[in-house]
Structure 1
Amino acid sequence: MLSSLKEKFLNVTQNVPLFSGDEKEQRARPDVNVNAGGEILKHFQDQWEEMHNTNEENASKANRVASDIDKISTKIASDKQNVALISHILLNSNLSANITNCLSSIKDLYAVSESLEKRLIELESVIEETEFQNLKVQHKYHLAQYQLKKEESLEKFKKTLEENHSKNVAEYEAKKKSIFQERQKVFQDAFKSDIELYKSLGTLPEMNNRKKQNGALLEEIQIDFDQSELDQFFSDNAK
């Protein structure tokens, strides 16, 4: 294609003096078109440039394809080696027996896991029962403490009631004793007055009036008297 393009270019240059420096000859031929064939030349130049770029692109793609082919070849070779190694291991080793032993071990491990799971469930039940018993003990302890506090409070209340009762009884007894002592003092003073009157008059003319007035019999009255005064009274009468 390049040779045909070159021949066409030479034919054009021979027929059309594009690069001639003879200005007189050009002036002598005013009817000649100096731009004839320019479009054809540009067309072929564009095609040549396009072909050149295409070749460069194809070369780059070919290099990438070659690199990919090398990688694939390397991978295939490695896979062949791995397959050969696996085949050798399968043929010359106890892999089948080892797999069988592994399966048996897995089965035993599964049985142990089931047994352990049952034991864990039983342990959880024991823990729950223990926690429940501890909770019962705590509630019993709190109940006992509550009962003890209530008993102590009841004892304090009883003691307070007893103290108040004893205090009230003591106050009542003291008041009663005070009233009795006052009455006894009144009767004792009256008795002394009657004794003095009897000593002086020898009789008690107003005894009946006093009985009616006081509202009590003489024998019902308890008098604290001095024995020495009574002895002195009888000794004076004897004289």
Structure 2
Amino acid sequence: MFGSLRKKLNNVIQEGFIITENLQQQYRQSQTSSASSNATTPTLDESIHSNRSSSSFGGQLSGSDLILPGDVNMAAGCNLLAKYEDAWKLMHDANENNALKAAQVAKQIERIGQSTNVLHTDMTDLATCLAGIPALVAKLHESLETLQNVNKLSATVETELDRLEDLCEECELQEFMLNKQCELSQFQQKKMVELESYRQSVAAKHQEKIRQHEQNLRRIQRERQAVFDDAFRGDLAEFKSKGALTKIQKEEPSLPVALEEVVLEDTTTKDALEDFLNG
């Protein structure tokens, strides 16, 4: 932008120089005819213009004295140049200020753009989340129903577990009772075997005692028979010799005792049997 302004200023200055040269040529042509009537002292602007033109154009008019009319301002180009220079300086300062402000505005725009992008991202995420809220609500309702079903199943499972525990306790009790019954049966069998063994031993002892008692009875009977035989033979011999028997006092005969009526009283054996049965 500054380069274009400089080009425009240079073009304006060149056009001013061309106009000034054309005017000088016109006045040179007419200086011979109007030298006496129009001879006046130059004004301040004309002197300044002459000084500037002499310095600017490298002494092009140094060899001639120009007399310009009063209505021509030869310093207009310089004034215009100064005006454009001041305007250019103001524009340059304004452009620099605008550049600084533009940089600040660009930074602010960049920050705003970044924050806008962040907000756009957040809004997009928020919109996505909001769009997913109905599905989330539906899932929550399904989850609540599932939790209710799980609670019902938990209550059912807890009830069944209580029943299972009761059944386990009953099974353990039955198993304990069966074990005790088995132990009792084994104990009874053991005691029955011991009782049978003891009964056999007692029966054997009883049979032995009966056999000994029968032997004693037979021995006593034989002794009595022998005594009776001796007495009979003595009575027979006395009857043969005397013809009569001596009267003797008769004793009442004792009733015969059967073997089944024999009772053996053995307190030691009886006490041992009672201890075995009670133990």
Task: Calculate the TM-score normalised by the size of structure 2.
Answer: 0.40
- The higher radius of gyration belongs to 2
Q: Which has the higher contact order (CA 8 A, sep 6+)?
A: 2
